[in-house]
């Protein structure tokens, strides 16, 4: 979400492209340029601007630089299964969600695949905070690989610039569960929130912009005593992870997941102004590859029969480590959890990967909610759709 100042930059690009360049651009990029935003923060773009941008954030370097996540040569098949018999009207549901993509995989078979907003299976849609859950799995991989010693290691063990700050004694586990106790405002509608103010922060020379901003924040409560949603902390996890593995996160994602899990298309990962992948946001991937990631996690994050994360770690990551303010829900290591054992990756404006291990279901959602970043009506409708799919699968299992 923390993109460059694209107001002036988009205008410069539009002039520089010229007529010949314009005609060479793909439809999504032309659409983005034709509706280029007039402010720097996508949280305050118009709906048409978001429709164009969400499928093309990585197409124009003036908007945001990105690093490639190469796929491998062997693609995990998603063979079609029999159509789901749902007790909901899928067309109506997709219209209410303003869905770009809706996929349901059951037991490895693609039971539903629909597209909207003039989007299709060949395109890449931005993940927003779905990237948090992907980052979580990479942390588990780094533990397994020995790059990270323990979930209880302190932030300042890997980021010495955090010594003396409120994050000095915060553990990696507390970062992943968002229980650091450090003050943070994630109100997407508030121009004065930390999410918005970070865009204007001028870091000290030689210090990563995120580190520079976060190390100034005060502590509100003792670490480990309160859950509070913070994209800034997931981005800090990414800095810590990058320092630990000594390579770009996009390269590690390709090595540990994108290639061995059989992704079909290359993905991209948007970079911060400091040149690091924004680990709390902004992976661009094809809908079927989001589904393959869900299947990969559903199957234990295994490659050649061996999990890429430590024994027992994935169960911890995808079950409630802390309570949140919704009855029956919890938060794991960057995963939202449900009381029935299912869990989900979620991103603003309707992005999601829902995983139900009991029923072996994966549901992928890409959208641009009309009610805003956290549209409560659309969010409830999506949860209702999850339950409708579960009920349909249960009905099939009954004699």
CA 197 vs. chain centroid, Å, equals 21
Residues 125, 269, single domain; the answer is yes
Triad 314, 70, 343: Cα angle to 5°: 25
Question: Which domain, by its residues, includes 318?
Answer: 67-130+263-399
pLDDT over 70 percentage in the chain: 89
Which is nearest to 334 in space by CA: 309, 358, 367, 311? Answer: 309
pLDDT exceeds cutoff 60 at 46: yes
pLDDT exceeds cutoff 50 at 9: no
Question: Rounded CA gap, 370 and 378, in Å?
Answer: 9
- Please report whether residue 135 resides in a domain: no
Residues 281, 388, single domain; the answer is yes
- Please report whether residue 384 resides in a domain: yes
The residue with greater pLDDT, 31 or 99, is 99
Residues 275, 351, single domain; the answer is yes
Q: Which of 64, 91, 115 is the last residue of a domain?
A: 64
Number of domains in the chain: 3
CA distances 220 to 116, 156, 194, 350, Å, are 43, 19, 15, 30
CA distances 151 to 111, 331, 333, Å, are 38, 16, 11
- Please report whether residue 139 resides in a domain: no
Mapped onto helix, strand or coil, the DSSP state of residue 78 is: coil
Q: What is the pTM of this model?
A: 0.91
Q: Which of 32, 64, 96 is the last residue of a domain?
A: 64
Model confidence over 108-159: pLDDT tens digits? 999 999 999 999 999 999 999 999 999 999 999 999 999 999 999 999 999 9
101-110 mean pLDDT? 98
- Please report whether residue 37 resides in a domain: yes
Residues 51, 126, single domain; the answer is no
User: In this predicted structure, which of 102-106, 204-208, 274-278 has the lowest mean pLDDT?
Assistant: 204-208
Residues 272, 348, single domain; the answer is yes
Which stretch of DSSP H or E encloses residue 104?
Answer: strand 99-106
Residues 162, 185, single domain; the answer is yes
Question: Rounded CA gap, 109 and 111, in Å?
Answer: 6
Residue-averaged pLDDT of the chain = 89
The residue with greater pLDDT, 254 or 6, is 254
State the CATH number of the domain containing residue 274: 3.40.710.10
Residues 75, 15, single domain; the answer is no
Q: How many residues does the chain have?
A: 399
pLDDT band at 26 (very low <50, low <70, confident <90, very high): low
At 190 the pLDDT is: 82
pLDDT exceeds cutoff 60 at 74: yes
pLDDT band at 38 (very low <50, low <70, confident <90, very high): very low
């Amino acid at each position: 979400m923390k993109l460059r100042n694209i107001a002036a930059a988009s205008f410069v690009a539009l002039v520089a492209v010229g007529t010949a360049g314009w005609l060479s651009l793909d439809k999504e990029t032309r659409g983005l340029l034709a509706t280029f935003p007039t402010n720097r923060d996508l949280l305050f773009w118009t709906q048409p601007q978001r429709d164009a941008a969400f499928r093309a954030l990585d197409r124009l370097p003036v908007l945001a630089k990105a690093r490639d996540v190469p796929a491998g040569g062997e693609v995990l098949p998603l063979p079609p299964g029999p159509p789901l018999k749902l007790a909901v009207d899928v067309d109506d549901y997709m219209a209410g969600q303003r869905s770009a993509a809706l996929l349901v995989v059951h037991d490895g078979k693609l039971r539903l695949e629909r597209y909207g907003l003039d989007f299709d299976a060949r395109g890449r849609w931005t993940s927003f905070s779905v990237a948090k859950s992907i980052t979580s799995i990479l942390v588990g991989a780094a533990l397994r690989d020995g790059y990270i010693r323990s979930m209880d290691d302190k932030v300042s063990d890997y980021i010495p610039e955090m010594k003396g700050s409120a994050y000095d004694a915060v553990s990696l586990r507390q970062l992943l569960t968002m229980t650091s106790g450090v003050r943070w405002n994630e109100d997407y509608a508030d121009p004065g929130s930390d999410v918005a103010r970070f865009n204007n922060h001028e870091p000290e020379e030689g210090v990563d912009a995120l580190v520079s901003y976060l190390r100034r924040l005060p502590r509100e409560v003792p670490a480990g005593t309160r859950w509070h949603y913070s994209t800034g902390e997931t981005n800090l996890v990414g800095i810590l992870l990058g320092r630990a593995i000594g390579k770009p996160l996009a390269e590690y994602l390709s090595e540990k997941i994108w290639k061995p899990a059989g992704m079909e298309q290359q993905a991209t990962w948007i970079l911060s102004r400091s040149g690091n992948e924004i680990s709390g946001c902004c992976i661009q991937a094809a809908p079927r590859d989001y589904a393959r990631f869900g299947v990969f996690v559903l199957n234990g994050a295994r490659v050649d029969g061996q999990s890429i994360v430590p024994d027992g770690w994935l169960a911890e990551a995808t079950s409630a480590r802390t309570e949140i303010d919704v009855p029956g829900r919890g938060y794991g290591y960057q995963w939202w959890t449900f009381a029935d054992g299912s869990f989900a990756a979620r991103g603003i404006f309707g992005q999601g990967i829902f995983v139900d291990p009991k029923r072996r279901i994966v549901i992928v959602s890409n959208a641009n909610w009309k009610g805003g970043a956290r549209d409560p009506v659309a969010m409830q409708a999506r949860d209702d759709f999850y339950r409708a799919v579960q009920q349909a699968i249960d009905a099939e299992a009954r004699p």
